[in-house]
Structure 1
Amino acid sequence: MDFAQARIVEQGNSLHVTHGDDSRLYVEFTNEAIHQTFLSEEAGRPIFKDVPHVRIHFPGDRTKQIFRPVKFQDDYQGPADPVRFPRQWAAFQAQAEQIQDGTPIEQWGPLTKSQAMELKSMHIHTVEQLAGIADNNLTWMGSRELREKAIAWLKQADDGKHAMHLQGELEKRDAVIEDLQRQMKEMASLVHAGAEAKAKK
């Protein structure tokens, strides 16, 4: 199993290379202490060097993962790792927690805390990753139903996003109308006060 395959897509007059959907992967960069044989022999003591590595887990698959030194140059297999996974690389460089995009699995209502912990042990950290698990990785009891729930929840959230946007626009419109009505009342009050003052003269 490897990364999503690269495709060349024509957009207008230019060509763009896309790499499928890697967003479902759990990607983590780490520094690994690598023994430097030549330098150790030369110094007469063990010498180690921190070498950046990348670990890529396929959500739901307990057996397959990629762990290798970070690829810094583009090659026939695809772009350099920092280019392909820029957010995780930036977090690694900043020594921050490398969080995946999406809704954290422990924040998803239908799951108990223990279910969330179990999913995280399978490198499923977000609802989006759960929804994107391939059929052949749905190997535990109730996994298919859970994936379908995640897909339905994401669809409902997406539909709700449009409804919330519409509601926000309506609330803005109502606020504008209310402000205009207030201004008209103030103007009417001023006109009335002016007419009364004129009448008294």
Structure 2
Amino acid sequence: MDFAQARVVEQGNQLHVVHGDDAKLYVEFTLEAVHQPALSEQEGRPIYKDVPHIRIHFPGDRTKQIFRPVKMEADYAGPADPVRFSRQWTAFMAQQEQVQTGTPLLEWGPLTKSQAMELKGLHIHTVEQLAGIADSNLTWLGARELRDKAVAWLKQADGGKEAVRLQGELEKRDLDIANLREQMREMAERMDATTQADGGKKAAAPKKIAGE
């Protein structure tokens, strides 16, 4: 899996900057103590400054990662890191654990805890990341089988969401039908009451006497 580089796409007369799928990346922000040579020389002792850094792992690839200072301003290559990875940045600023979106492997039934920890060592933390691993990165024993299980599980989960949606639509339809029947019943009762009232008025009308 490669880092989702920006590319320019032409749509009509407009140019848009498009990024790849960053959701499959494991991104974390850290504070790193960076040596400050000028200040160190001035003070006569080592001076360090905490500088935000970004570390990007590519699930399934042990050898590839990006580690650099956080890009705080947008440039020709794309938006600032806090904008592009806003959820992780927000968690970092709040000093909270930076978790990835998706189903944690430790909560996924088909995996044992030891398997989940092994995958964590490969920077694979969620079922979604496991399902998105490219064939070229399926290098460990049983990798393809686990990846296929993750793909099948996500498809089943999507099917479950569709079933819930359909069930909701059916319940709404039944409720609409029940409401319509109630409205028709009330309308029929009002019509019967009106008819009976009109009949009573006619029955109570005085008879005309001949010669009057």
Gaps of 5+ in 2: 190-195, 197-212
Rounded Cα–Cα distance in structure 2 between residues aligned with 1:27 and 1:142:
25
How far off is 1:159 after superposition? 2.4
- Between stretches 176-185 and 141-150, larger displacement belongs to 176-185
Q: How many residues align?
A: 199
Rounded Cα–Cα distance in structure 1 between residues aligned with 2:13 and 2:76:
24
How far off is 1:2 after superposition? 5.2
Partner of 2:6: 6
Rounded Cα–Cα distance in structure 2 between residues aligned with 1:182 and 1:117:
58
Q: TM-score, with normalisation over the residues of structure 1?
A: 0.83
Partner of 2:100: 100
Gaps of 5+ in 1: 190-194, 196-201
Please tell me the root mean square deviation across aligned C-alpha atoms, in Å: 2.8
Q: TM-score, with normalisation over the residues of structure 2?
A: 0.79
What does 1:68-147 correspond to in 2, within 5 Å?
Answer: 68-147=68-147
Moved >6 Å (runs of 4+):
180-189
Q: Structure 1 residues 180, 76: CA separation in 2 closer, same or farther (over 3 Å shift)?
A: closer
The residue type paired with residue 80 of structure 1 is A
C-alpha distance after superposition, 1:109-164 (max 9, x if no partner): 21111111111121101111101112121111010111111111112222222221
Q: Secondary structure at the match of 2:32?
A: strand
Q: Secondary structure at the match of 2:4?
A: coil
Rounded Cα–Cα distance in structure 1 between residues aligned with 2:101 and 2:13:
31
C-alpha distance after superposition, 1:161-181 (max 9, x if no partner): 222101111123334445666
Q: Structure 1 residues 76, 161: CA separation in 2 closer, same or farther (over 3 Å shift)?
A: same
Task: Confirm or deny: 8 A CA contact 2:57 2:123 kept in the other structure.
Answer: yes
The residue type paired with residue 108 of structure 2 is W
